[in-house]
Amino acid sequence: MQKFRDLESFPNVFQYPFSVLKEKGFELKGQWQEKYFKNDHPIVLELGCGKGEYTVGLAKLFPEKNFIGIDIKGARMWTGAKEAIDENLPNVAFLRTHVELLSYFFAAQEVAEIWITFPDPQMRKANKRMTSSRFLSLYRQVMVPDGIIHLKTDSRFLYTYTSELVKINDLPVLADTDNLYHSEVANEILSIRTFYEKQWIERGLNIKYLKFVCSKTSELKEPDIEIPVDTYRSFNRGELNELFAN
């Protein structure tokens, strides 16, 4: 409870009930650079930021960019917000909301890049996947025409699904590896490790990384393929048995 009270007073954290958002709107929409960051630097989002490891880590590496971590779980967000305050990072903010509400907080072409770090692969429902055509269409509403998406995941299911979606929609791929830390793609940026990532690495799981351009050239299509499910996460034993039985 103390962390939630802290968030209410943190100057780098924004929390808006949907009722207020719908009635009054968000005063920084379309004006994040001018009114909050007070510069014209590109805006980069981390969706499902958790403790904000990438939001804060990237902000330290790239002071010439503005970073906003987005998550609905405030207790986790507290860690990154507090670190940004303690280290006096002016290019960091946090937004406590659902990703589905992005267009309430950002105007068209206001976002340059999006990081999606270790999301739930949502193996049962495609429209809940953070890289689905539904979500990419949402990102398109707020991103620049050639905005960049970064996906970092332990899930082979989500990595395969996203790779296929990118392929059938002819989205330009800038980097792609199914074993990040044993590839030429690994660098200082990608070596920032989230709380969950450290757990997966300790379990011997390969980290996958996909970087692509979220082009706005055509309506997005879903891949129509069978993808083997991950058996080590997201489903409890009963759900896995039911899934394989079907």
Active site residues: 120
| Dist CA 153 CA 151 (whole Å) | 6
Lateral strand order in the sheet of 66-71: 13-15, 92-96, 66-71, 43-47, 111-117, 143-153, 208-213, 173-177
Within 8 A by CB and 6+ apart from 117, the residues are: 46, 48, 49, 50, 53, 54, 152, 153, 194, 197
